Chains A and B, each alone.
Chain A
Amino acid sequence: MADTAFGGQPPASRGPHACRLALKLVDEALGPVCRKVIGCLVDHGMQQYGELVRASGLAPPQLRAALLVLIQHNYVNCYLKEEPPTLRGPGPSYYLYEVALPRILQSLRVPRFLTHIADDHGQESVRLIHNLLEHGRLRWDQLLKAVCSEAAEEGEGEEPPPDPEVLANKFRSLVMERYVERVPPCNLPPPAQQVHPNARKKKAAPKPGSEEEADLQREQSEVQQRQGYQEARFQLSADLGGDAALIGSEAAAEKQAGKRKRGKDATAEEPAKKRGRKKAGDAGQAAAETAAAEAAAAGAKSAGVAAGQNEEEPVLWRVNYDEFNRRFRNDIIVSTVKLKYGVDAGHAVHGLLLANARFEQTAHTVETVVLSVNDASGALRRAEKEVPDNIDAVLGELSEDVFGLLESRGQGPGGEQFVMNFPRILNLARLLELEAVVKNKFGPHGMRIWRLLLLMGQLEQKQVADLAMLTKEEAREKLYGMLKAGYLALQDVPRTADHAPSRTFYTWRANPGVVNARMASDLYRAAGNLHARLAHEMSKKEELVQLLEAPSVASHVLERREEEIAALRAVTTRLEASLLDLDAQIMLFNDV
């Protein structure tokens, strides 16, 4: 959902309302200079440092400091772009900066992350995650120090300081459960450009030694570098007792180096006649060959750097927001299945999701791996959850249902095997939310019309009034209201070429994809409005806020303004609570 766009529009999480909210959040957290830098990156996309200097109009030291702060808080991604080598030597390389909009927007979800960790992992883990969130990215020793000093400040000698060994164990389990990940190295290549499947052209295999081959090898080496990071992403570092030998990038580097060697040898062993012909050929081809060989070498080297991250170097850690989203997504799936098919079905599906957890690294997975009944029941037992007595029958029935949540993949050693389709059940959860929104916005009759159009496809206004059993006037009012709000679409089907209205059919339809996208965008807009109102309320009582934040204020001063303080607290609490609630809906429509 997050990466798909409807009608050629960018997804809502990169739309104008999301950007506006992101700028507000950055301004609130890091100040106006950082907001300016983020604004530049939002407006111009991925940029080099020099371009940023020109676009932002900030003094270089100020920009440098702002960029460092933003990178520290993971609000900006940094990539190393290496241009292909030329005849004169290796190509230039430069760093590119890109705004990490999802991480900025998901910072709204931090209280929910902490609640989740407190429920599942206890107070020490909350301290670890909280400090990591506060500082953005930290080494293990820095994190330990921060947690200990925080505990000392809070306890003030009343409570014993947390045991470093206990904290290390907690941290290890957080890494192993993927709540915490290694920070991606700043020398990773920029993400590959996504090409629409229809725009992809079939290419013939490149000729050996050609420029195309060099490009292909360069692309492959970039993929390897990214893959290398993915392999090392959740591996413990040596200071946490991780096995450095596990870092699998060396093998990849060796493999790549071997390829390069073989490539050179092959050239050397070529018959003299052919070599002669090549010499006689254009110089460009020779340059391309060199480029290909060097790209492979650079790829192997940087793959090692990216993934291997020489264990002598310190490892930086950050909170993995995607893992939280994945778990929240699972909660939504289980609750929706319970609602639709009953409690037993919910437990059985929960088992499948738990069994699938170790195979997925992102919340955007489309389906589970092939899982058996035994996998599901075993995962439930390990998690000490209730296992339905007839779990095999429940899963079997679910796979036979026309809804298509589960697909049977035959019998295996652990019983019948299934694959679960996530978009189907998530779309159902979204549909329920949408129906509630339409009902609240346009009344029960509006919802009747919307659902009618969803089920029946395209209908004329008269047919809508007829089938929904409403008066023509009411149907027209509702239809145009929903059209204006973007929940319905109107299509004209002219009978004549002059498009005369009297000779044109006008048909209405509800497209769930478009409405989902609209809703996703509206949610960001509403969150931005809530944030703006919160800022307005705070600025109205700025003097009171300053008084409350002041370190030493006489108690009688506060007592005198007790009523005013209570009113301000009530307003801010309501706005903040609504923002948190809204964020849960934003997650469903944008981040899973």
Chain B
Amino acid sequence: MSTKKVEEMILAVCRKHPEGVQDTVLEQELPNVSVNDRALAINALLSALKLQILVNPADPSSHIYKASAAADTARLKGLTPEDMLVYQCIQGAGNMGIWTRDMKTRTNLQQPKINKILKTLEERLLVKSVKSVQNASKKVYMLYELEPAKELTGGPWYGPDAFDSEFITVLQDATMSYIKSKGDATLADIVRFIKETVSAGCTQTWYGRHECAAAGVHRVREHGTTSVQRKLVPSACMSARMHACPAILYSASGSQGISKQALQEDDVQRIINTLDYDGKIEGVDLDDDGVEHYRLALMKIPETTAFTSIPCGVCPVFNECVEGGKISPATCVYYQEWLDF
């Protein structure tokens, strides 16, 4: 029997078992093929990247064969076995990515070699590097088509390369405006409001000013040097009830288009909590159902006090100030400014 025919037969068996087949199964399914022919055919398939050899998840001491997708075969064509080793190592790490030093340990390849392979794989858009929010200097690699895990990107609160404080401020403003207009609202109401407004949103590039027929001109912020697109929902688009400044309700991540990473309930809860810590809203248990309602705080924190309205109250060197010393009330420049009518 020709090797070509045996290859086709093996591929057919592998496609019949998408979860992968063991050598014993191949032996049973192809009783007329000798061991030598089977070995030659498998080697040829592996060289042509039409077949993958993997560790059997049920029994790690054995291995299984799995047919590669046709597209994968085309994409991976021309890769050396070492390239494939690194590629598989990255593939195994999933959307958490893998650090180059870990790759070195797992593949037993030298660091320069790994760097060279990674460069090749990145050029062929097979893998990509992602910076972790936990450690900005630590780059991890993952398959190009994967979305990085939340732990890696920091969730919706991180932009392409930094913590997105402005996004949080805008979300806080939107939530505040909603609570103000409603009187009181539950977490579910606020989450629903955000979801509804998302459907009314419009897409806009990151730079420049956003023109919206309904709302006129809205503020759009600048964000780093990379042109990133985000889903922007100006206030007037959100709801007729809203009187807020422009609100941007979707976070972007990655460099391709808009991220559809919707805010989850616990994300919204965190925004509400920050408003509570800021003393802007307060949680009350109005109903007997035990659901917490949020309303504007009745006790507003005073803008200033007698202590902080004098220079001593906000003085950065208050503790070093002594009469007759280098810093003293008599020679204080802050007092001088304060008393300079």
- A residues whose Cβ falls under 8 Å from a Cβ of B: 339-340, 428, 432-433, 435-437, 439-441, 444, 447-449, 451-452, 455, 467-471, 484-485, 519, 522-523, 525-526, 528-530, 532-533, 536-537, 567, 570-571, 574-575, 578, 581-582, 584-585
Nearest CB in chain B: distance from A256 CB, A: 49
Residues of B within 8 A of A578 (CB): 306, 309-310
Residue among A437, A532, A533 making CB contact with B305, cutoff 8 Å: A437
Residues of B within 8 A of A471 (CB): 162-163, 165
Cβ–Cβ contact A448 & B307, under 8 A: no
Given A435-B301, A536-B330, answer yes or no on A525-B306 (Cβ-Cβ < 8 Å).
Answer: no
Nearest CB in chain B: distance from A583 CB, A: 8
| Cα A533 to Cα B332 with chains together (Å) | 9
B53 within 8 A of A: no
Nearest CB in chain B: distance from A345 CB, A: 11
Cβ–Cβ contact A433 & B165, under 8 A: no
Chain B, 285-341, CB within 8 A of any chain A CB: 298-299, 301-310, 312-314, 318-319, 321, 323, 328-330, 332, 335, 338-339, 341
B203 within 8 A of A: no
Nearest CB in chain B: distance from A253 CB, A: 49
Which chain A residue shows the least CB distance to B271?
A469
Nearest CB in chain B: distance from A342 CB, A: 8
Residues of B within 8 A of A339 (CB): 298-299
Cβ–Cβ contact A436 & B318, under 8 A: no
Given A339-B299, A448-B277, A570-B341, answer yes or no on A440-B304 (Cβ-Cβ < 8 Å).
Answer: yes
B18 within 8 A of A: no
Q: Quick one: which of A428, A436, A444, A451 has the most chain B CB within 10 A?
A: A436
A-B contact pairs, 25 of them (CB 8 A): A433-B305, A436-B301, A437-B308, A440-B308, A441-B308, A441-B313, A444-B278, A447-B301, A448-B278, A451-B279, A468-B277, A469-B157, A470-B163, A471-B163, A471-B165, A523-B307, A526-B313, A529-B312, A530-B329, A533-B330, A536-B329, A537-B339, A567-B341, A574-B338, A578-B310
Which chain A residue shows the least CB distance to B305?
A436
Closest 7 CB pairs of A and B: A581-B306, A440-B308, A526-B312, A536-B330, A529-B329, A532-B329, A436-B302
Cβ–Cβ contact B330 & A469, under 8 A: no
Residue among A435, A437, A532, A571 making CB contact with B313, cutoff 8 Å: A437
Residues of A within 8 A of B310 (CB): 526, 530, 578, 582
| Cα A574 to Cα B341 with chains together (Å) | 10
- B residues whose Cβ falls under 8 Å from a Cβ of A: 157, 162-163, 165, 168, 270-271, 273-274, 277-279, 298-299, 301-310, 312-314, 318-319, 321, 323, 328-330, 332, 335, 338-339, 341
Please name 9 further chain A to chain B contacts, defined as beta carbons within 8 Å, in addition to the given A467-B270, A469-B274, A485-B319, sorted by A numbering.
Answer: A432-B301, A436-B303, A451-B279, A452-B277, A471-B163, A532-B329, A533-B335, A582-B310, A584-B306
Cβ–Cβ contact B307 & A585, under 8 A: yes
Residues of B within 8 A of A529 (CB): 312, 321, 329, 332
Residues of A within 8 A of B319 (CB): 484-485
Residue among B274, B277, B304, B329 making CB contact with A533, cutoff 8 Å: B329
| Cα A14 to Cα B309 with chains together (Å) | 25
| Cα A519 to Cα B339 with chains together (Å) | 24
Which chain B residue shows the least CB distance to A402?
B285
| Cα A428 to Cα B307 with chains together (Å) | 18
Which chain A residue shows the least CB distance to B339?
A571
Residues of A within 8 A of B273 (CB): 467
Residues of A within 8 A of B313 (CB): 437, 440-441, 526
| Cα A570 to Cα B279 with chains together (Å) | 36
| Cα A239 to Cα B212 with chains together (Å) | 86
Given A447-B301, A525-B312, answer yes or no on A470-B165 (Cβ-Cβ < 8 Å).
Answer: yes
Residue among B168, B301, B330 making CB contact with A439, cutoff 8 Å: B301
Residues of A within 8 A of B306 (CB): 578, 581-582, 584-585
| Cα A455 to Cα B165 with chains together (Å) | 23
| Cα A447 to Cα B279 with chains together (Å) | 9
Nearest CB in chain B: distance from A405 CB, A: 13
Nearest CB in chain A: distance from B21 CB, A: 47
Residue among B168, B303, B312, B329 making CB contact with A469, cutoff 8 Å: B168
| Cα A579 to Cα B270 with chains together (Å) | 42
| Cα A533 to Cα B323 with chains together (Å) | 10
| Cα A161 to Cα B151 with chains together (Å) | 84
Residues of B within 8 A of A452 (CB): 277
Which chain B residue shows the least CB distance to A535?
B330
Nearest CB in chain B: distance from A592 CB, A: 16
Which chain A residue shows the least CB distance to B167?
A469
Nearest CB in chain B: distance from A468 CB, A: 7
Cβ–Cβ contact A532 & B274, under 8 A: no
Nearest CB in chain A: distance from B232 CB, A: 20
| Cα A574 to Cα B321 with chains together (Å) | 21
| Cα A582 to Cα B319 with chains together (Å) | 18
Cβ–Cβ contact A340 & B278, under 8 A: no
| Cα A582 to Cα B299 with chains together (Å) | 22
Residues of B within 8 A of A528 (CB): 329
| Cα A317 to Cα B330 with chains together (Å) | 39
Cβ–Cβ contact B270 & A432, under 8 A: no
Cβ–Cβ contact A440 & B314, under 8 A: yes
| Cα A168 to Cα B203 with chains together (Å) | 82
Which chain B residue shows the least CB distance to A529?
B329
Cβ–Cβ contact A441 & B314, under 8 A: yes
Cβ–Cβ contact A585 & B305, under 8 A: yes
| Cα A402 to Cα B283 with chains together (Å) | 13
Which chain A residue shows the least CB distance to B275?
A448
Cβ–Cβ contact A440 & B277, under 8 A: no
Nearest CB in chain B: distance from A415 CB, A: 27
Q: Quick one: which of A437, A467, A533, A567 has the most chain B CB within 10 A?
A: A533
| Cα A298 to Cα B203 with chains together (Å) | 93
Nearest CB in chain A: distance from B235 CB, A: 21
Residues of A within 8 A of B271 (CB): 469
Nearest CB in chain A: distance from B338 CB, A: 8
| Cα A523 to Cα B313 with chains together (Å) | 9
| Cα A452 to Cα B302 with chains together (Å) | 18
| Cα A33 to Cα B299 with chains together (Å) | 49
Residue among A448, A522, A567 making CB contact with B318, cutoff 8 Å: A522
Cβ–Cβ contact B298 & A340, under 8 A: yes
| Cα A430 to Cα B212 with chains together (Å) | 48
Nearest CB in chain B: distance from A331 CB, A: 15
Nearest CB in chain A: distance from B117 CB, A: 33
| Cα A469 to Cα B328 with chains together (Å) | 38
Nearest CB in chain A: distance from B223 CB, A: 15
Nearest CB in chain B: distance from A576 CB, A: 12
Residues of A within 8 A of B302 (CB): 432-433, 436
Residues of A within 8 A of B318 (CB): 485, 522, 525-526
Cβ–Cβ contact B279 & A574, under 8 A: no
Nearest CB in chain A: distance from B135 CB, A: 11
| Cα A536 to Cα B323 with chains together (Å) | 11
Q: Quick one: which of B162, B270, B307, B309 has the most chain A CB within 10 A?
A: B307
Q: Quick one: which of B162, B302, B306, B339 has the most chain A CB within 10 A?
A: B306
Residue among B165, B304, B321, B323 making CB contact with A436, cutoff 8 Å: B304
Which chain A residue shows the least CB distance to B321?
A529
| Cα A533 to Cα B337 with chains together (Å) | 13
Which chain A residue shows the least CB distance to B154?
A466
| Cα A444 to Cα B303 with chains together (Å) | 11
Cβ–Cβ contact A435 & B279, under 8 A: yes
Which chain A residue shows the least CB distance to B157?
A469
Cβ–Cβ contact A530 & B305, under 8 A: no
Cβ–Cβ contact B339 & A468, under 8 A: no
Cβ–Cβ contact A469 & B308, under 8 A: no
Residues of B within 8 A of A451 (CB): 277-279
Which chain B residue shows the least CB distance to A342?
B298
Residues of A within 8 A of B309 (CB): 578, 581
| Cα A570 to Cα B165 with chains together (Å) | 43
Residues of A within 8 A of B305 (CB): 433, 436-437, 440, 585
Residues of B within 8 A of A468 (CB): 274, 277
Residues of A within 8 A of B157 (CB): 469
Cβ–Cβ contact B307 & A437, under 8 A: yes
